[in-house]
Structure 1
Amino acid sequence: MPDLIQQRVEDCYQQAERYFNCTFARPVISFKLRGQKAGVAHICENRLRFNPVLYKENREHFLQHTVAHEVAHLVTYQHYGNKIRAHGPQWQAVMQNVFQLPANRCHNYNVSRAPRTHYLYSCKCTDREPFALSAQRHARVKKGLYYLCKACKAQLVYLQQQVKR
């Protein structure tokens, strides 16, 4: 699996280099993305992450569209700079003109089998079930953001428990 994705990434870069007549730095590629996202481009780190579960279930489309979608983010950033929107006109132009693909923001893969970890939080309400926050929201809490219970207005507190759903 990683070989096919790495080859597709390289093919996309070569297409972009021919189109723009310049060279682009190649990214670090990881296959440790989980959850509902098929791929993620970390533009400041020049890094791509791909979801192996969604790849296995959608190989052909994933290779053709998802890989190009994420590479387009890095190419757009390297070519146009940091004053761009993630799915803005420059990214759309790379998708359509360079890769000859539709500039779709989201995939429509079945994500029901993708394992999701939720983190349990509580408030001051005594009769309330714990809140199950997503991994993304839990990461935001670890960075200093906080969430409030709508009923008691208390800050949610992590219970040091996780659940798979």
Structure 2
Amino acid sequence: MFSFFRPSKRPATSQLVSNAMPPQTAIQEDASLHLERACLRAEAGLGRDIPRPTLRFDIRGKTAGMAYSSQNLIRLNPKLLEENPDIFFTEVIPHELCHLLAHTLHGKVKPHGKEWQALMRGLFGLSPRTTHTLDTTSVSKSVEYRCQCGPVPLSIRRHNKILRGDARYLCRRCGDYLKQPETR
């Protein structure tokens, strides 16, 4: 039977955090080290060993991080990490690690349920917020549409819905349908 907790014999430091995608920048290397520190803090708080999650830097868009409990995997947004390393080190990495711990310790639970919240508060002394407040301007992609008021940026998701014929959007100010400008 598989046990979540590994034997107490510790592997060499270089093996503590497994990386399916090796760090490519100094900030990514720092993120790996902060994940290891978070794991050590969690072990001290829980009084037991925990397996080290795989860490990848491959999320795009506005999402800062994601945890996949079935794979013991944490994925981080490399662009947002480069722009906001301190917030990633102090909030995002512990946030995602707590998702993995909540699943491991309590089984299937709500993603931001009371078990996850207790781990955020108890292990890391963090407020259990479900969303980040990072500036996502650099990763936000939009398409310019127009109405009687002038240009209106529309998200890629909404733009694609218009292209598929699934939606039409009205301007909140003038009530006119948003249209993509004619290209020449």
Q: Give the 5 Å matches for 1:13-32.
A: 13-32=39-58
Write the mapping of 1:1-165 to structure 2, written as runs, cut at 5 A: 1-82=27-108, 84-114=109-139, 116=141, 118=156, 130-131=163-164, 149=166
Deviation of 1:101 after TM superposition, in Å, equals 1.0
Deviating runs (4+, > 4 A) in structure 1?
115-122
Say whether the 8 Å CA contact 1:28–1:47 is kept in structure 2: yes
Q: Which runs of 5 or more structure 1 residues have no equivalent in the other structure? A: 123-128, 132-147, 152-165
Q: Distance in 1 between matches of 2:134 and 2:160?
A: 30
The CA deviation at 1:25 is 1.2
Distance 1:21 1:112, change over 3 A: same
Structure 2 segments unaligned to the other structure (5+ residues): 1-26, 143-155, 169-184
Cα distance change on mapping 1:64 and 1:150 into 2, 3 Å = closer
Contact persistence 1:38–1:107 (CA under 8 A): yes
Q: Matched residues in 2 for 1:56 and 1:99: separation? A: 23
Q: Structure 1 residues 66 and 150, CA, compared in 2 at 3 Å: closer, same or farther?
A: closer
TM-score after normalising by structure 2: 0.63
Identical amino acids, percent of aligned pairs: 26
Q: Secondary structure of 1:48's match? A: strand
3-state secondary structure, aligned to 2:71? coil
Tell me if the contact between 1:34 and 1:51 (Cα under 8 Å) persists in the aligned partners: yes
Q: Cα RMSD (Å) of the superposition?
A: 2.1
State the 1:72 CA deviation. 0.7
Q: TM-score, structure 1 length as denominator?
A: 0.70
* Cα deviation, residue 3, structure 1: 1.4
When residues 121 and 105 of structure 1 are mapped into structure 2, their CA distance, relative to the original with a 3 A threshold, is closer
How much has 1:116 moved relative to structure 2? 4.4
Decide whether aligned partners of structure 1 residues 2 and 77 sit closer, same or farther in structure 2, where only a CA change above 3 A counts. same
Q: Which entry has the higher C-alpha Rg, 1 or 2?
A: 2
Q: Could you say what secondary structure the match of 1:106 adopts?
A: coil
